[in-house]
A and B are shown apart, each in its own frame.
Chain A
Amino acid sequence: MMAPVCKLREFLRYLGEASIRYARESLYAAGYVFEIHKRTFRFLRHIQPKYGYRVFIMQMLFTGFEALWIIAVISLALGALIIIQGRSLLIQVGQGTLVYPILIMVITRELGPLLTAFVIIARSGTAMATELGYSVVSHEIEAYVSFGINPIGYLIVPRFLGVTVSMVILNLYFNIFGLLGSFIVTQFIKPLQMNEYVDNLLSYLTPADVFSSLLKSFIFGAIIACTATYYGFRVERSPTEIPQMAIKAVSRSFILCILADAAITLVYYI
């Protein structure tokens, strides 16, 4: 009789401790995100070329510019596939023009921001988490603190801005390549009239599509930057913690981006 009661108590204690731990961690993460945003406003108010600006530029170079070719390849292939397959299928039911709203829905509203986010998570999310984890282990962060240089203000804010802005810009490129570049690819396989294509595309593309796409990419960028840097800072002492935290940063970023995508899409349709 006593054994089941003891097990139940143990289970309840475990549950309670886990809840408190998660609540504490969530509060800490919320505080961290708040601090990033607070310091971002401060950074933007007092932006000076010598501090942080260079980190911001380098972050944009690595996260944005260097990922451009990957984004171009993915979006060109995706756009061309939708046009070729979608048109041949939809023309059979006399709804050939439906390919344009489908293209916009896939490239602009849904997969564009999400695939761009995935590329950035894979490239920059891991890199940031690893780099910051290493900085913690090698006491570089403590060195910043010892000189009164706030690590969030100096290290995180430029990265946060760099990733977020890069994400928005890369998403724009994804759209450019996906919507227009794929047209060029299609010309080699199944030619289409340029003016017909552009006119149709522009008549179906709404400001809400563009806004939703930009909003998503902005939020995804913020999520990736916050999550990657948060887990980078979660490394405490050992270098073996670095890959563990990098994996956590990637998986949490994926999940959060997909949840945010679902939430924004819901809001869009409500």
Chain B
Amino acid sequence: MTYSTEIQNVRIVRNGHALLDNVSAGLEEGKCTVLMGTSGSGTSCFMKTAAGIMAPDTGRVLAWNQDIELMSAQQQFVFREKMGFVFQDAALWANMTGFQNIALPFQFHRRGMPQEKIAARIAEIAGEFDFTGNLDRRPVDFSTGEQKIISYMRAMILEPRILFLDDPTGAIDNIFEKRVLDILVKRKDQGCTLVVNTHNPTYTLRLADTIIVMKAGKIMEQGPASQVRASSDPYVRGVLSDALCLP
């Protein structure tokens, strides 16, 4: 079994409160791992740690068998190019236009690329999402849903090999939700590893290969989707909701 990312015995404590408590898990290459848990259970923290955005107090995080913290600047640069992250609240850069938000990672990782090619690539990805709005506006001028779509485009512009999606359906309408799901399935089929933090049953059913259920910073259950869905643990069954639980 090949892991894109693997976290080993990770513990993160902030203000005396354990956000992650001795967590170990592997995110399988080319598969989709769905994280589930009640609010404050540590799923977002898990994702950020696995993506190397949040540093663990103890334990280590490996990306393609390399410890992220021990990577050189060049290795970090390559790793980041292969990774995309969609934040729960979009986290667009407020002082840039939508276009600049999408273009910046591209400009940063494809130095010297002509502006026209960047614009063409952005137009291509906007077409993929069916986004027809004017991108030359600041984030504050977009609706929350539009911001989320721009956040998707920004995360996918570099064609990442691993994509972290924190609450992918939050704030977006049904049409976009379906559109995004189709895109994610397509990416997965192309070999992209997906890590999704969601409670959306449709997404879980269509995407999940592995499910990790968390509670208070600890992993309660993890394994193949069918196995977790068959769990008899009341907390796990409560989190999965009726639509996902197997009899």
A148's partner among B77, B89, B95, B107 (CB-CB below 8 A) is: B77
- Contact B94–A140 (Cβ < 8 Å): yes
Q: Are B104 and A147 in contact, with the CB atoms below 8 A? A: yes
CB-based nearest B residue for A144? B93
Are A142 and B104 interface neighbours, CB within 8 A? Answer: no
* Bound complex: CA A144 to CA B105 (Å): 9
A190 at the interface (CB under 8 A from B): no
A146 touches B85 (CB 8 A): yes
- Chain A residues lying within 8 Å of B80, measured Cβ to Cβ, are 146-148
Q: Which residues of A contact B89 (CB under 8 A)?
A: 138-139
Q: How far is the CB of B178 from chain A (nearest CB, A)?
A: 26
A18-38 residues at the B interface, CB under 8 angstroms:
none
- Which B78-131 residues sit within 8 Å CB-CB of chain A? 79-81, 83-85, 87, 89, 91-95, 104-105, 107-109, 111
A9 to B155 CA separation, bound complex (whole angstroms): 54
Do the beta carbons of B94 and A142 come within 8 Å of each other? no
> With A51-B108, A147-B104, A147-B108 given, is the CB distance from A142 to B53 under 8 Å?
yes
Residue of A139, A143, A148 near B109 (CB, 8 A) is A148
The residues of B that contact A134 with a CB separation of less than 8 Å are 94
List residues of A (46-64) whose CB comes within 8 Å of B's CBs. Answer: 48, 50-51
CA distance A145 to B91 in the complex (A): 12
Alpha-carbon distance A135/B77, docked complex (angstroms): 22
Roughly how many angstroms separate A122 CA and B40 CA in the complex, as a whole number?
39
- B108 x A149 contact (CB < 8 A): yes
Q: When the two chains form their complex, are residues B87 and A143 in contact, meaning their CB atoms are under 8 A apart?
A: yes
| In the complex, per-residue mask of B227-247: 1 if CB is within 8 Å of any chain A CB, else 0 | 000000000000000000000
Chain B contact-residue range equals 20 to 34
Set B76, B85, B107: member contacting A143, Cβ < 8 A: B85
- CA gap between A135 and B105 in the complex, in Å: 17
Residues of chain B within 8 A (CB-CB) of A143 are 85, 87, 91-93, 154
Is B51 part of the contact surface with A, judged by Cβ < 8 Å?
Answer: yes
Give the residues in chain B near A146, CB-CB below 8 Å: 51, 53, 80, 83-85
- CB contacts (< 8 Å) of B83 on chain A: these are 146
> How big is chain A's contact interface, by range?
10 to 19
Interfacial chain A residues near B48, Cβ < 8 Å: 142
Contacts of A149 on B, CB cut-off 8 Å?
104-105, 108
Complex Cα gap A135–B87 (Å): 14
Contact, CB under 8 Å: B87 / A148:
no
**What separation, in Å, do the CA atoms of A142 and B154 have in the docked complex?**
14
Q: Mark A130-174, 1 if CB is under 8 A from B, else 0.
A: 010011001110111111110000000000000000000000000
CB distance from B157 to the nearest CB of A (A): 10
Evaluate contact between A51 and B107: CB separation under 8 angstroms.
yes
CB A207 to nearest CB in B, in angstroms, measures: 41
> Are B109 and A140 closer than 8 Å at their CB atoms?
no
Q: What is the chain A residue whose CB lies nearest that of B54?
A: A142
A149 CA / B93 CA spacing, docked (Å): 13
**Chain B residues whose C-beta falls within 8 Å of the C-beta of A135 in the assembled complex:** 93-94
Which of B52, B77, B84, B108 counts the most chain A CB atoms within 10 A? B108
A148 and B91 form a contact (CB under 8 A): no
Contact partners of A131 in chain B: CB under 8 A: 95
CA of A133 to CA of B163, assembled, Å: 27
A-contact bits for B144-177, CB 8 A (1 contact / 0 none): 0000000000100000000000000000000000
List B contacts of A147 (CB < 8 A): 80, 104-105, 108-109
| Residue of B with least CB distance to A146 | B85
In the complex with contacts A50-B107, A148-B108, A149-B104, A139-B76 CB distance below 8 A = no
Question: Residue on A with the closest CB to B77?
Answer: A148
9 A-B pairs closest in CB distance: A148-B80, A139-B91, A146-B85, A147-B105, A143-B91, A142-B53, A148-B77, A145-B53, A139-B87
Can you report 21 residue pairs joining A to B where beta carbons are below 8 Å apart? A48-B111, A50-B107, A50-B111, A51-B108, A134-B94, A135-B93, A138-B89, A138-B91, A140-B91, A140-B92, A142-B48, A142-B53, A143-B87, A143-B92, A147-B108, A148-B76, A148-B77, A148-B80, A148-B109, A149-B105, A149-B108
Question: CB within 8 Å of B: which residues of A?
Answer: 48, 50-51, 131, 134-135, 138-140, 142-149
Q: Interface on B for A, CB 8 Å cutoff?
A: 48, 51-53, 76-77, 79-81, 83-85, 87, 89, 91-95, 104-105, 107-109, 111, 154
